[in-house]
Structure 1
Amino acid sequence: MLDKERVKELYLKGYAAYQISNVLNCKPEKVRKCIERNLKHFRSSHLANKIRNKEIDRITRYESKQFMSDATFIKKNRSIYKTNDDGDLVVDISVAPIITFDTPKRFVNENSKKEINRKIIKSGYRKDELLY
């Protein structure tokens, strides 16, 4: 037996018949018939919530694609960084004395002698200093 109240609740939230059938573990045709017979006067509410849910999904996907990596951020805002002796990029406090919490403070140069030496020693290839 199909729970008509549960079908009505999900239908008014904007769910399609196949989605409701997945939640209730029944056939989609059974849900479609139930909607057709009992809930046709709620169609405008269903369509409004369906459009609302679609817009929420669209906005959420758009927001999730707005992430910017540290390297990209530093390339776009190169003026607030200075290069130290190791080739690392660090925030220049004289240019940007106040920065937000999510601003990268340091970007390590992966090709510096220090980093290459650390990676070789960590790999166990040779235990002594290689480049110094």
Structure 2
Amino acid sequence: MEAKTDKNQIEELYLDGYDANQIAKKLGKKVEAVRKYIQRNFSHLKHKHDIAVIQRRESIKATNYEANKYMGDSTFIKKNRSIYKTKPDGDLVINREVAPIVTWDTPKRLVNENKMI
């Protein structure tokens, strides 16, 4: 029964766009055994596999792009300077008269790092 489950898992992962190295690593099998199994049993699925590889690659690329769009607090404040006011000590804080309501992820304060102590 376990061998059959492995075969089904190999087929499923192959059709999801994983190569023999990745499948072997996920299932804890030898790379050559997985490669031979794919070669012998899934030659008719090569086209579907190639499409899945492209889809998987594009999905990873899109995810990485979204993850790298993060904007730091200081950059956000520089881009939206009009809602902040400068305190006498140089800190920037939200001006509640200009922006009484802000989202939870809006930076509330930027501390002046060049303060004289």
Same fold (TM over 0.5): yes
Q: Deviations over 1:59-91 (max 9, x none)?
A: 111111111111111111111111112221111
Q: 1:97 aligns with which of 73, 95, 100?
A: 100
| Corresponding residue of 1:72 | 75
**Cα RMSD (Å) of the superposition?**
1.9
| Corresponding residue of 2:89 | 86
Moved more, 33-42 or 20-29: 20-29
Q: 1:25: how far off?
A: 2.8
TM-score, with normalisation over the residues of structure 1? 0.75
Q: 2:37 aligns with which of 34, 38, 42?
A: 34
Gaps of 5+ in 1: 117-132
CA distance in 2, matches of 1:5, 1:24: 11
Q: Summarize the alignment of residues 1-132 of structure 1 with structure 2, pairs less than 5 Å apart.
A: 3-113=6-116, 116=117
By relative contact order (CA 8 Å, sep 6+), the higher-ranking structure is 2
Report the 3-state secondary structure (helix = DSSP H, G, I; strand = E; otherwise coil) of the residue aligned with 1:90.
Answer: strand
CA distance in 2, matches of 1:64, 1:5: 33
CA distance in 2, matches of 1:107, 1:91: 9
Task: Detail structure 1 runs of 4+ shifted over 6 Å in the superposition.
Answer: none
CA distance in 1, matches of 2:9, 2:83: 57
TM-score, with normalisation over the residues of structure 2? 0.84
CA distance in 2, matches of 1:69, 1:60: 19
Report the 3-state secondary structure (helix = DSSP H, G, I; strand = E; otherwise coil) of the residue aligned with 1:41.
Answer: helix
CA distance in 2, matches of 1:19, 1:9: 13
Q: Which residue identity is paired with 1:34?
A: Y
Gaps of 5+ in 2: none
Matched positions, count: 114
Q: 1:24: how far off?
A: 2.8
